[in-house]
Amino acid sequence: MAGAADLNPSATATALLNRLPLVHLSSGLSPLDQAVLFQIRLPRVVLGALVGGALSLAGAGYQGVFRNPLVDSSLLGSSAGAGLGATLAIVYLGPSAPAAVPVAAFVGSLVGVAVAYLAGAAGGPGTSTLLLAGLAVSMFLTAVQTYVLQRSTQDIQQVYSWLLGSLSAATWHQTTQILPYLAVAVTAVLLHGRHLDVLSVGDEEARSLGLHPHRIRLVVVAGCALAAASAVAVSGLIGFVGIVVPHAVRRLAGTSYRRVLPLSLLFGAGFLVLADTVARTVAAPAELPIGVVTALIGSPAFVWILRSTRSVRT
């Protein structure tokens, strides 16, 4: 109901109810208002919920794998790989770039995580090695992206527009495109909530219960990577969602990942829809990049997480 165009709240609610089976109501909305509602606002809200839920679930899953509440998908090469893929598409594909950017970002994100995981596995067992490998891969991919941008300064504005994140181009087509990938990723991660609870007490205890820590980490990391890649492919890079939301959920519902994972999915969806509503209304008719809004909210929250984590360890 919120946006630059003024839609009657009761008429909007009636129009939405009218789309339910066996419901036949007259909303009174004009054809133009209905187009605004069903072709612009509703797909944006649905896509925002999917993206927010995916980023939050990925963050919670990574935090379970690394047993660290300060970890999110960007630390394992996902964001850097997506940024490089999108940059290469924008710089080198010209007129074909708009259609190719989501695909390039999706592939780049998955490749970044795969390289980081393989490098970490080659360095030996343990989550710290994997985390350091992800950091090294992210720095390398970011350096390559900077080099490409330096040679193509005319595309900097378009690239940075994508990097700051936006849902302004949301369509039903994008929503249906990422749904199959998200369905696989969400199912894989949610089914391993109990296993992450066991891993949180140590690998030896997990092995004594008949679990395979390496296999569990591989499946969870793959699921989280797929969720994060699907999200950034259609929205650009949106920071802090994967850190702030799971941490808030732990404060409300405890530390068991059987609760943290599904609640992170739901709370992340609501958080990003709210952030996007702020982004498109606070400076209407202009829009703020959604990444700016999440950073303004997430940065203070991140500092608070650091302080609370330090207090717990002390």
Strands (DSSP E) contained in 44-98 are: none
Question: Residue 186 pLDDT more than 90?
Answer: yes
Question: Residue 314 pLDDT more than 60?
Answer: no
Closest CA to 121 of 63, 76, 54: 76
H helices of 254-289, in order, are 257-281
Its pTM stands at 0.89
Q: For residues 153 and 230, which has the higher predicted lDDT (pLDDT)?
A: 230
Q: For residues 308 and 274, which has the higher predicted lDDT (pLDDT)?
A: 274
Sequence-separated (6 or more) residues with CB below 8 Å from residue 253: 259, 260, 263
Please provide the average confidence, as pLDDT, over all residues in the chain.
87
Closest CA to 192 of 253, 257, 256, 131: 257
Note every long-range contact of 142-147, with CB atoms under 8 Å and residues 24 or more positions apart, other chains counting.
142/80, 142/83, 142/84, 144/84, 145/80, 145/83, 145/84, 145/87
Q: Contact, 237 vs 101, CB < 8 A?
A: no
Amino acid, res. 278: V
Average pLDDT for 274-300: 87
Task: Tell the burial category of 76 from Cβ atoms under 10 Å away from its Cβ (0-12, 13-18, 19+).
Answer: buried
Q: For residues 260 and 206, which has the higher predicted lDDT (pLDDT)?
A: 260
CA atoms within 13 A of residue 28's CA, in its CB half-sphere: 8
pLDDT at 281: 85
Domains identified in the chain and CATH numbers: 47-313 (1.10.3470.10)
- pLDDT (tens digit per residue) in 78-137: 889 999 999 999 988 876 777 889 999 999 999 999 998 888 877 666 677 888 888 899
C-alpha distance from residue 94 to each of 104, 148, 151 (Å): 14, 14, 15
pLDDT at 175: 93
Residue 76 pLDDT grade (very low, low, confident, very high; cuts 50, 70, 90) = confident
Amino acid, res. 45: V
Average pLDDT for 298-314: 68
C-alpha distance from residue 128 to each of 76, 135, 216, 282 (Å): 12, 11, 16, 41
pLDDT at 123: 66
Sequence-separated (6 or more) residues with CB below 8 Å from residue 244: 271, 297, 298, 301, 302, 305
Question: Residue 52 pLDDT more than 60?
Answer: yes
pLDDT at 121: 79
